[in-house]
A = this chain, B = another copy of it.
Amino acid sequence: MTTHSPAGGVAGPVREVRLDRYPGAEGVTERDFAVFPVTAPASPGPGEALVALRRLGMNAGLASRIGGPDTAYGPGVRLGDVPGSDAVVEVVASRDPALRPGDLAVGKVPWRTRSVLPASALRKLPPDAADLGLESFLTVLGHVGFTAWTGLVRVGRVREGETVFVSGAAGGVGSCAVQFARARGARVIGSAGSARKLALLTGVLGAEAAFDHHEGPAADALRAAAPGGIDLFFDNVGGEQLEAALEVLRFRGRAVLCGAASQYARREVRGPANYVRMIYQELTVRGFTVTAHEELRPAFEEEVGALVRDGVVRGVHTTAEGFDAVPAAFAGTLAGRGLGRTIVSVD
């Protein structure tokens, strides 16, 4: 129902997604959000650009901010608020010399088909962006790739020959972490929630072993996959899988906390009941927030850009078609549906 303007932007009415009600006891569902038509944004002011949404990435972590506190990743989301996440946009009009109509850029943008944004909030894509695929800038070369790299390389200090366990390994960040760990010479064990995801991990992404966390105790599966223990845990999930990792980490092992997808929708978070093992095993657990590590981006782009262009690592994503699919795509992300990151295509 949309038509492409000559500049490549999306014509048709401007729409946005709002939090329409607070989630009930069943957790966040797509019915908690609704799409609303809105008046077209005003023309950009000096230093601003009018952009059209092209690809919108979904983040499970947003769920923890619905009705919740502000965090480093963004403000708490209240009734009527328009959430935001990272996206590829196309510049429609610009009053900043760095951006011209037709330019493609990434940035954190509201869930709205067109927005006026400060040019400083957008980073232009490189000239070979179309060859690499726009989605790459929301996966392996984007925010989630940068997150995986920062957590694995800088916070977790992964070393060649180590055994690394990645939870949620077939998700957006997880699928990057698995590949980056492999590229750095580590053995990787991944967990995921379906046979199709396990096949992705061992058949495509290079994991040595993978297990389905729905099938029996995670600690048993992890110990079977790593009888000698693990050196490093990269956690996207929390809950039982964090406990499993604390159980199987070697003496002086490290855990990097990136996310806690299993806990975001829970009223009572499950803290690791075996945390006392951290004392006897001298474990180190470090949380991190990639937005606090912007100074590392050039090193990330250099290393991972080369890996992507050489075909050593690849972005993994699942596409949802059309802006109206955003609520379902977000709920699907929380439910663990889809391989890699879920991206809404708004072309």
Residues of A at under 8 Å CB distance from B? 64, 71-73, 238, 243, 251, 257-260, 263, 268-289, 292
Of B238, B284, B288, which is within 8 A of A282 by CB? B288
A279 to chain B: which residues have CB within 8 Å? 257-260, 287-289
Q: Is there an interface contact between B274 and A285, defined as CB atoms closer than 8 Å?
A: no
A273 to chain B: which residues have CB within 8 Å? 268-271
Q: How far is the CB of A251 from chain B (nearest CB, A)?
A: 8
CA distance A212 to B270 in the complex (A): 27
Q: Is there an interface contact between B286 and A282, defined as CB atoms closer than 8 Å?
A: yes
Q: Is there an interface contact between A72 and B271, defined as CB atoms closer than 8 Å?
A: no
Q: Which residue from chain B places its CB closest to the CB of A292 in the assembled complex?
A: B282
Query: Can you name 5 A-B residue pairings with CB atoms under 8 Å?
Result: A64-B276, A257-B275, A258-B279, A271-B272, A278-B287
A263 to chain B: which residues have CB within 8 Å? 276
CA distance A258 to B279 in the complex (A): 6
Q: How far is the CB of A283 from chain B (nearest CB, A)?
A: 5
Q: How far is the CB of A247 from chain B (nearest CB, A)?
A: 11
Given that A285-B284, A286-B283 are contacting pairs, would A275 and B272 also be in contact in the complex, using a CB cutoff of 8 Å?
yes
Q: How far is the CB of A285 from chain B (nearest CB, A)?
A: 5
The 3 closest A-B pairs by CB, nearest first: A271-B271, A278-B287, A279-B287
CA distance A251 to B292 in the complex (A): 10
Given that A270-B273, A271-B272 are contacting pairs, would A284 and B283 also be in contact in the complex, using a CB cutoff of 8 Å?
no
Q: Is there an interface contact between B278 and A257, defined as CB atoms closer than 8 Å?
A: yes
Q: Is there an interface contact between B260 and A269, defined as CB atoms closer than 8 Å?
A: no
CA distance A277 to B278 in the complex (A): 18
Of B64, B73, B285, which is within 8 A of A285 by CB? B285
Q: Which residue from chain B places its CB closest to the CB of A155 in the assembled complex?
A: B282
Most buried by B among A278, A279, A281, A286: A279
Q: Which residue from chain B places its CB closest to the CB of A284 in the assembled complex?
A: B286
Q: Is there an interface contact between A287 and B283, defined as CB atoms closer than 8 Å?
A: yes
CA distance A272 to B263 in the complex (A): 13
A71 to chain B: which residues have CB within 8 Å? 280
Of B238, B269, B276, B281, which is within 8 A of A269 by CB? B276
CA distance A270 to B263 in the complex (A): 16
